[in-house]
């Protein structure tokens, strides 16, 4: 069957090439948009995602917040009050507030200064994101971190040792992170007191409170205990808050609708363009299929022959598209657009490819060829 399908594919190389190109273009566009959406959603949940979630498993915000990038101020007294709740091992205040950074070349950039208590630095950065410096140096005077991929945005080659001004106050970059970013702006990590100092954040307030769960207690149970015990706030598991933030921004900003519509358009256009090309190719070989029927081939055999061809197109097109996607991923990484494709995402892309190629062949080509009469090949 495969050998016969291959011979049919070689019969009209131009149309076969057209089908493969159509599949490659459709799958590449779909994969590109999915990769960009995944990158953006990673930024949306970056404040929580880049925190030390293994320590601060729960985040406490006010009772109306659904977006971790917009944190209203909470009373600092809640830090101590929450420690009395059943299942809470410890609590950690976090300050996250906007500021303006001035670089040595005079350029200004908006940043989010994030502070938490040393030596744990629950708010981040994660140790694995640090490429220069030591996280404990964030406790030094005037010490902050800066993000490697934000250098383009800063228009200045930031590195450890760089002197900057944050809201007119002197600071030095002693830690450099890589891919510890967020949707609300560039992250500058430091300790709690310096975050308050640089952003003029009130001593009696915090942005959020991270909660460490007592061993033996389930995170969801402690979340419920906090929500029942303390009025005016809401506790979330860190992962739930991250996902809720992503959902909120995706819907409110129409990013999901925009990218989703492009993906749907790529699937639909690919389905019809490839389907019509396969249909045209099948019509050109109508006599060949009629001859097969005349010598004993039934409709099931003809269907399998056409489906095998379309599946071979799908595999070839998908492999080429995957190579192009990997090239695209490698090419944009240097510019800070860090895209990663998981095995599951590639598996889903392959299924979409099969749907576009095989589905369109069943919809257009198979229905036509199955109606061919064997005697048609003897008519002039």
Residue in the block written with tokens 């450099």: 176
Give the model confidence (pLDDT) of 62-105 as tens digits. 989 999 998 999 999 999 999 999 999 999 999 999 999 999 98
The kind and range of the H/E element at 349 are helix 343-354
Helix (H, G, I), strand (E, B) or coil at 21: helix
The ranges assigned to domains in the chain are 2-43+254-378, 72-206
Q: Contact, 374 vs 293, CB < 8 A?
A: yes
- DSSP letter for 183, please: S
Identify the band that residue 371 occupies on the pLDDT scale cut at 50, 70 and 90.
low
pLDDT of residue 46: 92
Residue 314 pLDDT greater than 80, yes or no: yes
Identify the band that residue 258 occupies on the pLDDT scale cut at 50, 70 and 90.
confident
For residue 241, give both structure tokens: 């808050």
The string over 135-149, giving b where at least 16 C-beta atoms fall within 10 Å of a residue's C-beta and e elsewhere, is: beebbbebbbbbbbb
pLDDT of residue 132: 94
- The more confident residue out of 289 and 248 is 248
Residue 380 pLDDT greater than 80, yes or no: no
Q: Which of 97-111, 243-257, 266-280 bottoms out in mean pLDDT, i.e. has the lowest?
A: 266-280
């Amino acid at each position: 069957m495969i050998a016969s399908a291959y011979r049919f594919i070689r019969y009209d190389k131009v149309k076969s090439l057209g089908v493969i190109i159509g599949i490659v273009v459709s799958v590449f566009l779909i994969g590109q948009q999915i990769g960009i959406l995944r990158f953006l959603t990673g930024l949306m949940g970056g404040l929580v995602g880049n925190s030390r979630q293994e320590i601060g498993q729960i985040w406490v915000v006010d009772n109306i917040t659904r977006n971790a990038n917009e944190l209203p101020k909470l009373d600092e007294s809640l830090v101590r009050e929450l420690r009395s709740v059943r299942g809470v091992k410890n609590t950690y205040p976090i300050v996250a507030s906007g500021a303006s950074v001035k670089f040595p070349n005079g350029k200004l950039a908006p940043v989010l200064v994030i502070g938490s208590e040393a030596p744990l630095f629950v708010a981040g950065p994660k140790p694995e994101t640090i490429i220069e410096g030591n996280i404990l140096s964030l406790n030094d005077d005037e010490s902050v971190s800066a993000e490697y991929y934000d250098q383009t945005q800063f228009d200045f080659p930031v590195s450890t040792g760089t002197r900057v001004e944050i809201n007119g106050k002197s600071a030095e970059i002693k830690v450099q992170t890589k891919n510890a970013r967020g949707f609300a702006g560039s992250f500058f990590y430091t300790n709690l007191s310096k975050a308050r100092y640089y952003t003029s954040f009130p001593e009696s307030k915090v942005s959020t409170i991270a909660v460490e769960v007592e061993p033996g207690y389930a995170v969801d149970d402690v979340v419920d205990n906090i929500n029942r015990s303390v009025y005016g706030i809401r506790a979330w598991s860190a992962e739930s808050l991250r996902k809720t933030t992503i959902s909120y921004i995706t819907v409110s900003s129409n990013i999901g609708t925009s990218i989703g519509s492009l993906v749907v358009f790529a699937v639909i256009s690919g389905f019809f363009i490839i389907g019509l090309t396969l249909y045209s190719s099948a019509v050109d070989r109508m006599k060949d299929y009629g001859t097969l029927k005349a010598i004993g081939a039934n409709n099931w055999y003809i269907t399998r022959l056409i489906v095998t061809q379309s599946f071979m197109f799908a595999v070839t097109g998908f492999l080429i598209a995957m190579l192009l996607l990997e090239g695209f991923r490698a090419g944009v990484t240097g510019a800070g657009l860090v895209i990663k494709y998981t095995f599951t995402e590639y598996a889903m892309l392959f299924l979409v490819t099969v749907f576009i190629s095989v589905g369109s062949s069943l919809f257009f080509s198979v229905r036509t060829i199955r109606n061919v009469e064997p005697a048609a090949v003897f008519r002039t």
